[in-house]
A and B are shown apart, each in its own frame.
Chain A
Amino acid sequence: MIWELDMAILTLVLFCAVGAITVKDLLGAAILFGAYSFMMCLLWAIMGAVDVAFTEASVGAGVSTVFFVAAVFRTTRRTKD
C-alpha cells in the first residue's frame, strides 16, 4: 500500500462527496456521486476488499448513476433550495 496514493484518493473522495451535496445542478451531482463511488471502489481495492470494490463499481458507479440521470431527466435539473 502506497500512502501517497491512498491520501490522494481519500482527498478526491472528500471533494467529490462535498461537491455532490453542495452543487446546484442535479445532473452534476449525479456525475459527482458516480465519481465518488469510483474513488471508493479504488479505496476498497487498495484495502484488499476486492468483492466489495467490485460491487461498488457495478452498483455505485454504474447502475445507480444511470438511475439518477433518468430521475433528473424526468424531473428538474435545478434544485429548489
Chain B
Amino acid sequence: MRLLPARGGTRARTVTRLFAGHLARGLAMIWAVTTVSFVIIRNIPGNPVLGQYETLIQRGMAPDEAQRMTAALYGFMPTGSLWDQYTGYITALLHGDLGQSLSTPGTEVTTLIGAAAQWTVLPVLAGTLLSFLLGVTLGVYAGIKRSGRLGDVLSISGSLLHGVPQYVTGLLMMAIFATLWPIFPAGGPVDVEFVPGFNAGYLASLVHHATLPVLTYALASYGGWVLAMKSSVATVLGDDFILAAELRGMSRGLLFRYVARNAILPLFTILALSLGMLFGGAIFIERIFNYPGLGLLLVNSIGTRDYALMGGTFLVTTIAIIVANIAADLLYAVIDPRVRTGGAA
C-alpha cells in the first residue's frame, strides 16, 4: 500500500512501519471482540436451534432425525460444547464464512449484510460529510467571531442540536416533513413501482426517500462539529505562530489558511472514527424511517436470536471501526509532519 510519493524514502518508510504495527494490533483486537461477542451472544436467554429441535420432537420425529434435520437447516450441530462451537466458528471465519442465517434459513449471512449495508453506508456517509462540511465551516466563523453575535448564535445552536438525541430529531423531522407538510415520504427506501436500476424515476425516488434520514444524520452530528471546530480554532488563534505570521505581514487569506489547517487536524481523527461507525448502523433512525439497513438488521437478528447474523453484524461493525481507527492514525501521519518524524527533534 503506497500512500504517498516517497521523498527521501523517510515518509513512506514511517507510514509503512506505522501500518504494520497497526495491522497487528487491529487483528488482535478483532479476535478479542469476536471472542467476547461470541460468548455474550451464546449466553443470551432463548436458543432458537434448541427450540426448533424441540418442536420437531414434539411433532413426533425421532431425536436422531430431529438433530440431523436441525443441523441441515442451520448448518451446524446444536449439541457441541461452547468450546467446540467456538473453534468451529473461528475456523469458518478464517475461511471467510459467516455461516447461514437462522431466521432466514438457507441465506448466507454475508448476503444479508451486503444487502443491508447499501441502505446504511450511503445515507450515513452523505449525512456525515454534509454535517462535517457545514459544521467545520460554521465552526471556523464561530471560532473567529466568538465574541460577536454571529459566534454566539452559532455556538448556542450547535449546543442545542448537539444535545438533542438522534431519535428525537428523527421523530421531529418525520412529524414536520412527512405528516404536517407531507413533502417527503414517511418511510421505506424507495417506491415500489419503479424498476431498480439506473433510470431517472428510480434514482429520484431513492433521493426522495433518503432526504429525511440524511438530514436527520446531518442535524444530529452537526452541533458536535461546530463546537469541536470552534474550540480548535480558538486554541490555534491563541498560538504564538499566528501572531508571529501577523507581525510579519502575512496576508489575511494565508493567515486564515494557517488557522484553518492547524485547527482542522484534530477533527480529522473524529471524522475517520465516525465514518467507521457507518457500518454500525443507525438503529433509531433506520427504525423511524423503516430503512432496511444494518441497524435494523441487527435489531431483528437480536429479536430472533439469530446467532450467525448477530455475530456477523458485530464482526462487520468491529472491523469497520478498527479499520477507521487505523486509517485515522495513518491519515494523521500523512497530514501532520510532527507525527511523521516522531515528535520533537
A joins B in a complex: no
